[in-house]
Amino acid sequence: MTNGSHWETPRVSVLLPVRNGQRTLPAALRSVQRQEGVSWECICVDDNSTDGTWQLLQQFACADPRFRVFPSPGKGIVAALQFGLAHCRGALVARMDADDAMHPQRLLRQAEALDADPSLAGIGCRVRAFPAPHVRLGFRRYVRWLDGLETPELVARERFIECPVLHPTMMFRRSTLERHAYRDTVWPEDYDLILRLLESGEKLANLPQRLHFWRVHASKASLTDARYSQEQFARCKAYYLARGPLHPCDRYVLWGYGPTARRLCRALRHQGKEPYAIVEVHPRRIGLTIRGAPVVPPHALSSLPQLPLLVSVANPTARALIRQYMGHTDRVEGRDWFFTA
């Protein structure tokens, strides 16, 4: 263990778990070193790497005592995060991934935002995904969607579409993470944390500045780890929908029945929730019965019971049209109905 200390208690602890990050780690750590205007330490936890990661971490720690490096006593990112958090000394904890990079003012801007609004439990920022040839359409759409989620109200409203903040961009109050902690589940640990925070009433937001550089590559955990599959994201959504908007109802109305909606429907079934009706615009589906639920057109919503409505339509243009349509009804988004894709 190399745990160089510094006489000053840092304002920010950067929490960086890493596994086999030898290729990208130096750039990530140098971007931490370039941070301006705020005192920091970087808690690096090596998650059982088999390349030269540990040697690199030791080199940085020997040259700069603000880097405090530890081998993880467990296995997996959650164990590394939990262990690293226990060693954070700053009142603020900023997440960082070993394959990303920070803008020099990321920590300063986020610390200032949390100082300015004590009601915020954490704040992210806009990102630039790179390198461009690897950034596929799905990533570009996700980044564009994140760009529109600055306020706590928008983050909370959109939380069941996808993760409404990008975890490695987040700065949290350490007290928040100590209360809620990371959990080792079968689904993504970051989405689980964010949904738990929002469920408990914590407020999260995103800065409008692009202060984080998000590297996309084929071996990224979000593309290779089974916990980040679409099925597991659906299970995570279903778990928190059942505890929140759908509680205590055992029935709901589902808008849409494409692949995303079917995944969510299966996941909700495991939570004891079944659709009362399915809203569709496809003329060949209207009038059918799917697993006991009649398929009805949108105008039939007014004749259905006031059950929670889950809109599982992934196309952004279709979502905008549905939001416009629902704006002419007496149902309130975020209370009576939610986008879930």
In which band, very low, low, confident or very high, does the pLDDT at 53 lie, cut at 50, 70 and 90? very high
What superfamily does domain 12-228 belong to in CATH?
Spore Coat Polysaccharide Biosynthesis Protein SpsA; Chain A (3.90.550.10)
Helices 25-33, 53-63: axis angle to 10 degrees equals 20
Percent of the chain scoring above 90 in pLDDT: 94
pLDDT above 70: residue 7? no
- Which residue type sits at 261? A
DSSP 147-214: HT--SHHHHHHTTTTS-SS-GGG-EEEHHHHHHH-----SS-HHHHHHHHHHHTT-EEEEEEEEEEEE
Find the mean pLDDT for residues 276-283.
Answer: 97
Q: Predicted confidence band at 227 (pLDDT cuts at 50, 70, 90)?
A: confident
Distance CA 206, CA 35 (A): 19
Neighbour-count burial of 87, counting CB atoms closer than 10 A to its CB (0-12 exposed, 13-18 middle, 19+ buried) = middle
Confidence of residue 189 (pLDDT cuts 50, 70, 90): very high
**pLDDT (tens digit per residue) in 261-279:** 999 999 999 999 999 999 9
More confident residue, 227 or 107: 107
Mean predicted lDDT score pLDDT of the chain = 96
Please tell me the distance from the alpha carbon of residue 290 to that of residue 22, in angstroms, as a whole number. Answer: 51
Whether 184 shows a pLDDT value over 70: the answer reads yes
85-135 pLDDT tens trace: 999 999 999 999 999 999 999 999 999 999 999 999 999 999 999 999 989
Strands 92-95 and 171-173: antiparallel
Q: Is the pLDDT of residue 3 over 70?
A: no
Q: Look at the domain 246-339 and name its fold.
A: Rossmann fold (3.40.50)
Query: Of 21, 69, 16, 12, which is closest to residue 39 (Cα–Cα)?
Result: 12
Residues contacting 11, CB < 8 A, separation 6+: 38, 39, 40, 90, 91, 92, 111
Residue owning tokens 């140098």: 30
For the chain, give the number of residues.
341
292 token code pair: 């006991």
Residue 6 confidence (pLDDT) above 90:
no
* 55 pLDDT above the threshold of 80: yes
150-171 mean pLDDT: 98
Domain boundaries, the chain: 12-228, 246-339
User: Coil, strand, or helix at residue 95?
Assistant: strand
- Render 41-68 in DSSP notation, one character per residue: EEEEEE-S-SSSHHHHHHHHHHH-TTEE
Q: Which two tokens stand for residue 157?
A: 């409203």
Neighbours of 178 (CB within 10 A): 13
What is the pairing mode between strands 274-279 and 293-296?
parallel
